A and B are shown apart, each in its own frame.
Chain A
Amino acid sequence: MSCCAPGAEDLAVAGPSLPSDEEVRFAARDLGNGTSQIELSVPAVHCAACIQTVEHTLRLLPGVEAARVNLSTRRVTVRWRGAALPPLVGTLAGLGYVPNLFDDSQAGRDGTLTELIRAVAISGFAAGNIMLLSVSVWSGAEGATRDLFHWVSALIALPALIFAGRIYYRSAWGALRYGRMNMDVPIAIGITCAYALSLYETINSGPHAYFDAAVTLLFFLLIGRTLDHVMRNKARAAVLGLARLAPRGALVIGPDGSRDYRPLGEIEPGMRLLVAAGERIPVDARVVKGASDLDCSLVTGESAPQAIAPGAVVRAGTLNLTGPLTLEAQSRATDSFLAEMMRMMEAAEGGRARYRRIADRVSQLYSPVVHLTAFLTFLGWMLATGDWHRAITIAIAVLIITCPCALGLAVPIVQVMAARRLFENGIMVRDGSAMERLAEADIAVFDKTGTLTLGQPRLTNTNEIEPALLAVVAALAAHSRHPLSQAIAVHDGGGGPVFERIVEIPGYGIEAEAGGVVWRLGRAQWAGSAGEGTVLARAGEVVARLSFEDRIRRDAREALGEVEAHVGPVEMLSGDGEAACTNVAVRTGIGRVSAQLLPTDKVARIEELAAAGHKVLMVGDGLNDAPALGAAHVSMAPATAADIGRNAADFVFLRESLSAVPTAVDVARKAGRLIRQNLFLAIVYNFFAVPVAILGYVTPLIAAVAMSTSSIIVIANALRLSSAPNRREDEVSAATGVPAEEAR
């Protein structure tokens, strides 16, 4: 139908992470009058045809009153009437747009953005009108006309200063109160002085008023600030919209056998829980009934699924693969493994808390120098002429001309361009400070399962298996959701026999009967032979052995080579066994490997590196990596990472290829270079402008021209980042890649 609806293969992969109807009902908001509303994230939506398909199909569902897609946030809002929940999730998944629920805490309208846009509008209006009046003054309006124009300008500038300027006043006050300095302090002082001086001049029919300078400055700075905010929001919305991996609640079995879906916070130790195949374990628990296989890759880093039987203890966050389980909760959600990792992560918060932004460091030096210069200018003119009015006028002119318009734009505008470049490459960046920190990284640490590899097994010895048997085993495997089975089922060409009876025995394998012959696919010991591994048996006799390996991410070797060349040494820290780690290390070319690490060991290693003076870049995805992600100087996570890892990481990359890591480093370094150039340009500007101001030659016209020119130069320099040579490549991947892969 359309270019973009992902096929059924993607569905099979995303299958286990579909939100259940209970979860959707929890997330829905009651609007009164029997109508309810839910907002679902649909990352796969990305063109007009998608909008139409989704809205049209949802509106046809019984009870649905309205469905509206927001393409910017990739969300759909559905309103329906009546108590029954329309089959929203199933319908959307059936169309190929796998929906996710997202955290409501950060949802809703963005108040800051609205305030910023409003401030831009008001300061833009004021700047335009005042500039019009100022040009007439510069062109020679005199006497009463000039005074009239000044008065009108003062009237327009006042609300602009109060409304648009309060963003800067608030920020400057916040910094000063804690004894810190930021770029907003000189800006706030500059615009206030400019307004006060101009008002004084206006009252006394003076010739020079700087209303235009003050308001234009605000306008430019607000544009930069708004763009920065929009870009960051876009990235955050994309990360928020990814599938939630932690469950929101669990099906509790009461003592009388009743089943009740309860949110996570209400689950107490001792409660009996039912976890279906394909769901994640909500809290640390003990298995009471049932057998299954457990995918622990996100929790411990082990790539091979584990078989579990009654009595086993399971950890929150692991994925139940094959059979339903009845569990007895052993701890509350706040005491479970997940919460423990979160506490460790907060405790480990290292590099990023100590890091000080470039802009803050510059303003720390800049403000005192500028304010001292203005003060000395005042003293100098006072001593030289004794005319205090003239001395103050010139001192304030110094403040106005040094008001850091270019400096205030120098950093954010580059970071907006860089974030856009990264966004086009499927990389989301949390904030500007992350980019500055990434540019500093000099050692890279990778997790194995899910980061270097995809956490998806691949059948490696297809050439050793007879084609006829391969057809049987593939047809058989197609009936199971076990990851190994799905890896085999990929080879299903439709040539297999027709099975009369198929049973999946959780924890062991699949048994099927075709034409009187019993086939078994599963664990070696169960299927009828000694030893380990996965085998196919015909009537109790092993006919084929299957071997698997974890699939390595695309371009992993090349990407790691680039990281090694441009960043520094590469290390692998994994919770998985020695053999699996060495195998991946050999195939990706990593020299230094540490296996079987606990989360604390990973943090310890990173702190050891940091103590040795290194700036560590940590790339990881699991719950067990979260503390390490927090401890590192800068961190990255793939979109498939556990929720807390994804939220903790500075960068999240949505595509499969590991080349995201060198790309991000490259863009961050280029951005760093441009920022330094911009700061240099801004300082050069001051170098020329300040002497002119100190000598008292600055008029409002000179101030306006000088400030605008410096801002435009800085912006033009930042734009160079977007016209990089690999532009065409970006466009191609932007048109094909992001959403389909986000859907995973």
Chain B
Amino acid sequence: MSMLLYLVPVALFLGGAALLAFLWALRAGQYDDLDGAAERILLDEEKRGDSAR
């Protein structure tokens, strides 16, 4: 049973890290435009000063 003493905290820590990452992403505005994010992967990176497409 002694492994519980570290396995439970490890499990909680991993879950908590994922939760924090999600909250950070939410705050950083990554969920503001879900439809746009889905479409933007189809776009080519725009190069600086390059006006041709």
Residues of A bordering B, CB below 8 Å = 47-48, 51-52, 56, 60, 69-73, 109, 114, 117-118, 121-122, 125, 128-129, 132-133, 144-145, 148, 152, 156
Establish whether residues B51 and A71, one from each chain, have CB atoms under 8 Å apart when the complex forms: no
Please indicate the chain A residues that have their CB under 8 angstroms from the CB of B11 in the complex: 129, 132
Please indicate the chain B residues that have their CB under 8 angstroms from the CB of A60 in the complex: 51
B7-51 vs A, Cβ < 8 Å mask (1 yes, 0 no) = 010011001101100110010000111111001101100100001
Of the A-B pairs whose beta carbons lie under 8 Å apart in the complex, a sample of 9, sorted by A's number, is A47-B39, A56-B46, A72-B35, A125-B15, A125-B18, A132-B11, A145-B4, A152-B8, A156-B12
Establish whether residues B53 and A52, one from each chain, have CB atoms under 8 Å apart when the complex forms: yes
Establish whether residues B23 and A145, one from each chain, have CB atoms under 8 Å apart when the complex forms: no
Please indicate the chain B residues that have their CB under 8 angstroms from the CB of A122 in the complex: 19
Residue of A nearest to B46 (CB): A56
Instruction: Say whether chain B's binding surface is mostly helix, strand, loop, or mixed.
Output: helix
Contact of A125 (CB < 8 Å), options: B19, B33, B36, B42: B19
Establish whether residues A70 and B32, one from each chain, have CB atoms under 8 Å apart when the complex forms: yes
A588 to B43, CA, bound (A): 47
Known A47-B39, A152-B8; contact A121-B23, beta-carbon cutoff 8 A = yes
Known A60-B51, A117-B31; contact A51-B15, beta-carbon cutoff 8 A = no
Contact of B33 (CB < 8 Å), options: A70, A114, A118: A70
| New A-B contacts (5) at CB < 8 Å, excluding given A129-B11, A145-B1 | A51-B36, A69-B36, A71-B33, A125-B16, A148-B4
A70 to B40, CA, bound (A): 11
Establish whether residues A72 and B4, one from each chain, have CB atoms under 8 Å apart when the complex forms: no
A51 to B33, CA, bound (A): 12
Establish whether residues A117 and B26, one from each chain, have CB atoms under 8 Å apart when the complex forms: yes
- How many Å from the CB of B31 to the closest CB on chain A? 7
Known A71-B39, A125-B15, A128-B15; contact A118-B23, beta-carbon cutoff 8 A = yes
A687 to B18, CA, bound (A): 40
- How many Å from the CB of A222 to the closest CB on chain B? 14
- How many Å from the CB of A231 to the closest CB on chain B? 13
Known A114-B26, A125-B19; contact A72-B36, beta-carbon cutoff 8 A = yes
Please indicate the chain A residues that have their CB under 8 angstroms from the CB of B33 in the complex: 70-73
Instruction: Say whether chain A's binding surface is mostly helix, strand, loop, or mixed.
Output: helix
Residues of B in contact with A, size category = 20 to 34
Please indicate the chain B residues that have their CB under 8 angstroms from the CB of A73 in the complex: 33
- How many Å from the CB of A469 to the closest CB on chain B? 47
- How many Å from the CB of B40 to the closest CB on chain A? 7
- How many Å from the CB of B43 to the closest CB on chain A? 5
Establish whether residues A52 and B43, one from each chain, have CB atoms under 8 Å apart when the complex forms: yes
- How many Å from the CB of B5 to the closest CB on chain A? 9
Q: Which one of B1, B31, B39, B40 has the highest number of Cβ atoms from chain A below 10 Å of its Cβ? A: B39
Residue of B nearest to A1 (CB): B53
Known A125-B16, A129-B11, A148-B4; contact A48-B22, beta-carbon cutoff 8 A = no
Establish whether residues B19 and A72, one from each chain, have CB atoms under 8 Å apart when the complex forms: no
Please indicate the chain B residues that have their CB under 8 angstroms from the CB of A125 in the complex: 15-16, 18-19
- How many Å from the CB of A4 to the closest CB on chain B? 12
Please indicate the chain A residues that have their CB under 8 angstroms from the CB of B39 in the complex: 47-48, 51, 71
Known A129-B11, A132-B11; contact A51-B4, beta-carbon cutoff 8 A = no
Known A52-B43, A121-B26; contact A152-B12, beta-carbon cutoff 8 A = yes
- How many Å from the CB of A166 to the closest CB on chain B? 17
Contact of B43 (CB < 8 Å), options: A48, A128, A133, A144: A48
A73 to B15, CA, bound (A): 32
Please indicate the chain A residues that have their CB under 8 angstroms from the CB of B46 in the complex: 56
Establish whether residues A129 and B51, one from each chain, have CB atoms under 8 Å apart when the complex forms: no
- How many Å from the CB of A39 to the closest CB on chain B? 12
Please indicate the chain A residues that have their CB under 8 angstroms from the CB of B15 in the complex: 125, 128-129
Contact of B32 (CB < 8 Å), options: A48, A72, A129: A72
A490 to B9, CA, bound (A): 74
Q: Which 9 A-B pairs have the closest CB atoms?
A: A71-B36, A48-B39, A48-B42, A71-B35, A70-B33, A125-B19, A72-B35, A72-B33, A121-B22
Residue of A nearest to B8 (CB): A152
A156 to B11, CA, bound (A): 12
- How many Å from the CB of B35 to the closest CB on chain A? 4
Residue of A nearest to B51 (CB): A60
Residue of A nearest to B41 (CB): A48
A114 to B25, CA, bound (A): 11
Establish whether residues A51 and B43, one from each chain, have CB atoms under 8 Å apart when the complex forms: yes
Please indicate the chain A residues that have their CB under 8 angstroms from the CB of B12 in the complex: 129, 152, 156
Please indicate the chain B residues that have their CB under 8 angstroms from the CB of A47 in the complex: 39
Known A70-B33, A129-B12, A148-B4; contact A121-B40, beta-carbon cutoff 8 A = no
Establish whether residues B53 and A56, one from each chain, have CB atoms under 8 Å apart when the complex forms: yes
Please indicate the chain A residues that have their CB under 8 angstroms from the CB of B22 in the complex: 121
Please indicate the chain A residues that have their CB under 8 angstroms from the CB of B8 in the complex: 133, 148, 152
- How many Å from the CB of B39 to the closest CB on chain A? 4
Establish whether residues A48 and B40, one from each chain, have CB atoms under 8 Å apart when the complex forms: yes
Q: Which one of B26, B34, B35 has the highest number of Cβ atoms from chain A below 10 Å of its Cβ? A: B35
